[in-house]
Amino acid sequence: MEERRQWVETDAIGIFIVGGILLGCFFPMLTGYITMGAAPLVSAIIVASAVVFIILMVVEIRCGNMFGAVVNGVFGVLLGLAPGLLFLTEFIAQGMGIEVDARVVGWYFMYIAPVLIVVGFVGGYMFWHFAIAFWVLAVDVFLMGMVFAGYLSHTWNPTLGWVIGVGGIYFFYMATASFLNGMMHRKVLPLGGGLFKAGGH
């Protein structure tokens, strides 16, 4: 009986989407290139992306890739579906004249930060810059949470937005490298080595 073909790697798909969300949604919104009036459109992009992430999470579970499943789950739910629906609900409630305490978004973002630190630590076994990127993103998300929760001024937003923008460029490069290297079966773009060694050696 012919052996069933293995499922393909999904890394590039998810990373391209992450870059798109950071560069196309959070960066322009935080830096002031678009207004909060774009919130429902941004929410639609994030929720649509979350659906893909959740599908990719299932694929990674099917392939036995725990790290890939966790990363797609984090981006699909913690940084995708939940924030997208929170922003959309807040926008609809304001339009209906219903008062909501949006500071919960800030507290939620502050929880996401330590999750990103843990994911970055594990990712550091593959690529040193992956760990650094996730740790920087964790600090940025935590400070965003502080702003949304009312503990920091909104004057922080442009700075946080530019950090997000740089992160988006980084993830675009990572996705491009993963896609090209995989398709060409050779190193087209360098990715470097790990920050840590397995087994602590």
Mean pLDDT, residues 48-63: 92
Tell me which fold the domain 11-200 belongs to: 1.25.40
> Would residue 6 be called left, alpha or beta, if left means φ above 0 and alpha means ψ between -120 and 50 degrees?
beta
Query: What are the C-alpha distances in Å from 186 to residues 12, 173, 180, 181?
Result: 15, 16, 8, 5
pLDDT at 64 over 90: no
Predicted confidence (pLDDT) per residue in 103-147, tens digit:
999 999 999 999 999 999 999 999 999 999 999 999 999 999 999
Q: What is the pTM of this model?
A: 0.88
Taking the C-alpha atoms of residue 80 and residue 77, their distance in angstroms, rounded to an integer, is 5
Write down the domain spans for the chain.
11-200
* Residue 4, pLDDT score: 44
* Residue 40, pLDDT score: 87
Q: Using pLDDT thresholds of 50, 70 and 90, give the confidence band for residue 24.
A: very high
